[in-house]
Structure 1
Amino acid sequence: MSGREDGPRAPASVAGIASAVRGGRRRAVDVVAEALERIGRVDPVLCAFLEVWGEEALRRADEVDARVAAGERLPLAGVPVAVKGRHGLRAAEPLLAAGGVAVGATSVPGPRTPWQTWGLGAHGRTVNPWRADRTPGGSSAGAAVAVAAGLVPLATGGDGAGSVRIPAAWCGTVGLKVTNGRLPSADRTGLAAPGVLTRTASDAAAWWRVVSGRPIAAEPPAAFPVPAHWSPDLGFADPAPEPVALARTAADRLVDTGVVRLVRPSSPPRLLDPAPAWLALRAPGADPADAHRIRAENDRRLDDLFARADLLITPTTPTAPHGHDGPGEVYSTALTWAFNVSGHPALSLPAGFGADGCPAGLQLVAPRGREDLLLAVAAEAERRGGAPTG
């Protein structure tokens, strides 16, 4: 798969699958069998999966059909779900309880990989579904590829420095990282937060309602246009011109369609480079004093920023997808990991295509605990045509 004409195709939506299974128009076992057939046919090329759980998935799907027949109203009835890595089932338990069916474990970076924007599946290195000579990003590499290629409509991820948002940007999907600490995470540093990769904002919202336990009626509507700050570099990064231009064009579409209103600050948003803080917090035995200083100052600046606008908008990544030999000297995390240190929720939306034929992303950041705002803005952008899809 490569280029825009023969690139990934969209599967049925989460809501569409669940509605059809609940209404008796589809059987979960047939939906899951079709997903497994797609995976078997396409994954030897894409290498998105470490393991495929065919027999178990069909057994679970049959159980979902029985639960539906017994009258259970399952919000994810029959939805094929991919989980990040071999140990991702525990994080997916709320999805399975809601009727989702885990079909396999997606690829993550292999052993002895010094950088995380890469993946190694059962059949070899994970490739970008738009260009096989480029990486899909990572570490939720296979998750992004599985969604972008239409193998599943929803895949779980984990984001410690941009590991959901970067592959979402480079594969042309929606990628949400939740507020740090709001959902369980095994990361001892507190930098990592769960997340999800989907084709649409409504599918991401379906995931959020299940894992957060918030009913649809509890989602507060956003008043549009939402005031937002734009920053191409957060005051410290050195992004390449093309990702910035694509993101700015995408931000301007949000303005033109009335989804956001850009606030003109007296000075542009500026944060301290979070790299020293992130690295110190990750390193066992490191003195955290400087990390805490950087975190406190950036928290102060972000509090001031969000006192004047509801959103911060940036490019998701500083570069286009790199080759399989590595990212070079530029940290692919330059524009994402500040919000792992600060804990703010962030979402990557598709932002069009670069000259290399690969997607780029637009990052939306909201105050802590405002996942609902991110999802509402993303959904409205899709509804009004302000967000291109992969």
Structure 2
Amino acid sequence: MQPSHQKTPHPRTTPGRGSAAEIAARVRRGHVRAIDVVDAALAAIAADEHNAFVHVDPGGARRAAAEIDAVVAAGGDPGPLAGVPFGVKDLEDCAGMPTRAGSLLLSGAPPAGADSPLVRRLRRAGAIPVGKTATAEFGFDSATSTRLHGPTRNPWSPSLTPGGSSGGSAAAVAAGLVPLATAGDGGGSIREPAAFCGLVGLKPTHGRVPRRSSHPFSTPGVLAATVADTALALDVAAGESPGDRWSLPYQPGAFAVRLPPPGLRARFSADLGYAPVDPEVAAIAAEGARRLAALAGFHLDERPLTLPDARPPWLVLACAELRRELGLLGPWPDVLDLLCPTTVQGALRGEEVGAAEHGAALAACADLEAAVAALLSETDLLITPATACPPFAAEGPIPTVIDGRDAGVSGAEPFGPIANLTGVPAVSIPAGLTGDGLPVGLQVIAARFHDDLLLGLAALAERASFSPAR
């Protein structure tokens, strides 16, 4: 994240640098050509050593850039993201590029024939997809390391993971390869990579951004270099879609970045009464919450708080869904021979889920939704650490012991599924650095439809440089 005091690079000498909003403004005004912006991004990707991109489409990107430049030359407006290069998480379709989901099972996938709703709307706004970013296999890991593509590495420390499952998108943005990349969040997969890579990551209110996914709790979104870019991209992507029955009508200002109103109330908990959390992470998150409260002028209540543990029912439902998806891709259990260990573990767990356990998990989700609704009727914000630990090894595995306690079920992101199971928005905001110089994220949860409130809080933290630039 760029500190506010740094000067913007000269647009004619560094066409690919700057935020998405800055690049688009230069392209629309004719100060720089989209083809030059794209070529700069392609050169950066070619030189990158973080394994952020797993497929690149130079020809398609340059053709799209030429079309943008032609519109500008003719006096037209290509859109609010004109000429902005972006990466597409390899769990969603981008026309002309294969969707491999990080798996050997799909290594021979043909190019997609159509865009996902998110990619289609970003293109319509003038943005240019340059390639696919690495994902955890089928999105089922808190690290991004697969048998198909190997480990993706964190730009803050290449021996460590950028998180999962949107790890390639987070690494691409944090490394400055592109200012914007698509992401998806089914249990924390935008927020954990954002926390591990020092970015802002918003999981929108469920339905704000349309999707094409069978996963009942997954929400599309983006990872971007700035809060303003996040808001801009989500605004052009939002709105109802005939292909998604859960999609919501477009609401102007839903992703506006505005100052939070006075008099907000917030509850902070480092563990919600159930999760093992690294003590240094907990301390940095607590201090970040206090700093944010001071900036925004809200009251922070730090009394002990316990909520129902979201992770166990989420795991039951996620594993059952994974097993169902894999059953469509090949004969069972032969497909297991091609999968990563974490995927195999999840699929075998899903095989065990019967009707009674599935029903109990749904009942637990209903209890959690009621508990969160009750809490958010008494307070405006729920604040926790975004993750339970700092970034771990790029190759994995997910830590199973944190602070000397069993974290085999809670994992690295014990608080992520809360927002997915209840449909509320949640954001990870950079809160500071560990003693080893690694980013720590602060998760803030609000009631449904208050995405703008979370973006406003993130903007306050960004201006105050809670976490210095890498």
Specify if TM > 0.5. Answer: yes
TM-score by length of 2: 0.75
Q: CA deviation at 1:186?
A: 3.4
In structure 2, the CA distance between the partners of 1:252 and 1:270, relative to structure 1 (3 Å rule), is same
Measured after TM superposition, the shift of residue 280 of structure 1 is 2.4
Q: Which residue of structure 1 lines up, in the alignment, with residue 246 of structure 2?
A: none
| Residue 104 in structure 1 maps to residue 131 in structure 2 | yes
Task: State the one-letter code of the partner of 2:301.
Answer: R
Would the alpha carbon gap of residues 304 and 87 (structure 1) be closer, same or farther in structure 2, given more than 3 Å must change? closer
Cα 1:86/1:335, change in 2 over 3 Å: closer
Q: Please point out which of 378, 386, 398 is paired with 1:327.
A: 398
Secondary structure of 1:92's counterpart equals helix
Aligned length: 377
Which of 101, 121, 129 lines up with 1:94 in the alignment?
121
How far is 1:68 from its partner?
Answer: 2.7
1:259 to 265, 283, 296: 296
**Aligned runs of 1:4-83 on 2, under 5 Å?**
11-42=17-48, 45-70=49-74, 71-72=76-77, 74-83=79-88
- CA 1:151–1:364: 2 relative to 1, 3 Å: same
Secondary structure of 1:367's partner?
Answer: coil
Of 368-377 and 162-171, the range deviating more from structure 2 = 368-377
Secondary structure (helix, strand or coil) at the match of 1:136 reads: coil
Give the Cα separation in 2 of the matches to 1:260 and 1:14. Answer: 30
Contact (CA 8 Å) 1:80, 1:102: kept in 2 or not?
yes
Question: Which 10-residue stretch deviates more, 175-184 or 356-365?
Answer: 175-184
TM-score, scaled relative to structure 1? 0.89
Change (3 A) 1:220 1:145: closer
Q: 1:309 to 1:389 in 2, by over 3 A?
A: farther
d(CA) in 2 for partners of 1:46 and 1:156? Answer: 17
Q: More deviation in 154-163 or 216-225?
A: 216-225
Residue 139 of structure 1 deviates from its aligned partner by 0.7
- In 2, the alpha carbon distance for the partners of 1:105 and 1:383 equals 31
Distance change >3 Å, CA 177–CA 33, structure 1 → 2: same
Superimposed CA distance per residue, residues 1-39 of structure 1 (whole angstroms, 9 cap, x where no aligned partner) = xxxxxxxx9940111111111111111111111111111
Letter in 1 for 2:27: V
Query: Does structure 1 residue 365 correspond to structure 2 residue 432?
Result: no
Distance 1:182 1:108 in 2: 23
Identify which range, 153-162 or 307-316, moves more after superposition: 307-316
C-alpha displacement of 1:279? 2.1
* 1:175 matched to 2:201: yes
Structure 1 residue corresponding to 2:211, chosen from 185, 209, 215: 185
Alpha-carbon offset, residue 271 of structure 1? 1.2
Alignment correspondent of 1:242: 280
Q: Judge conservation of contact 1:76–1:100 (CA < 8 Å) in 2.
A: yes
Asked if the contact 2:155–2:197 (Cα under 8 Å) also holds between the matched residues in 1, the reply is yes
> Secondary structure of the equivalent of 1:46?
coil
User: Aligned-pair distance for 1:173?
Assistant: 1.0
2:365 maps to 1:295 = yes
Q: Distance in 1 between matches of 2:389 and 2:156?
A: 16
User: Does the 8 Å CA contact 1:107/1:121 hold for their aligned counterparts?
Assistant: no
Aligned to 2:5: none
- Worse-superposed segment, 352-361 or 219-228: 219-228
Secondary structure (helix, strand or coil) at the match of 2:364 reads: helix
Deviations along 1:208-236, one digit per CA (max 9) or x if unpaired, are 21111554598484314633211111222
In the alignment, the residues of structure 2 paired with residue 341 and residue 249 of structure 1 have an alpha-carbon distance, to the nearest angstrom, of 27
Alignment partner of 2:89 out of 75, 80, 84 = 84
Residues 95, 210 of structure 1: 8 Å contact kept? yes
Cross-structure match for 2:264: 226
Q: 1:69 to 1:228 in 2, by over 3 A?
A: farther
Which SS does the other structure have where 1:50 is aligned?
Answer: strand
Residue 281 of structure 1 and its aligned partner are, at CA, apart by 1.9
In structure 2, do the counterparts of structure 1 residues 183 and 347 end up closer, same or farther at CA, with 3 Å as the change threshold?
same
* Distance across 2 between alignment mates of 1:101 and 1:120: 26
Q: Distance in 2 between matches of 1:348 and 1:100?
A: 24
Specify the code of the residue in structure 2 equivalent to 1:100: A
- Equivalent residue letter for 1:76: L
Structure 1 letter corresponding to 2:372? L
What is the Cα deviation at residue 124 of structure 1?
A: 3.7
The letter of the residue matching 1:261 is: F
Question: Structure 1 residues 183, 314: CA separation in 2 closer, same or farther (over 3 Å shift)?
Answer: same
**d(CA) in 1 for partners of 2:216 and 2:389?**
27
- 1:313 and 1:108 mapped to 2: Cα distance? 27
Determine the structure 2 residue equivalent to 1:350. Answer: 430
Which blocks of at least 5 consecutive residues in structure 2 are unaligned?
Answer: 1-8, 10-15, 95-115, 239-249, 322-352, 401-406
Between structure 1 and structure 2, the one with the greater Rg is 2
1:93 deviation in Å?
0.9
User: What code does the residue aligned with 2:379 have?
Assistant: A
Residue 120 of structure 1 deviates from its aligned partner by 4.4
- Whole-angstrom CA distance in 2 between matches of 1:72 and 1:293: 50
- Distance between the aligned counterparts of 1:246 and 1:387, measured in 2? 11
Where 1:325 maps in the other structure, the secondary structure is coil
Identical aligned pairs, as a percentage?
A: 41
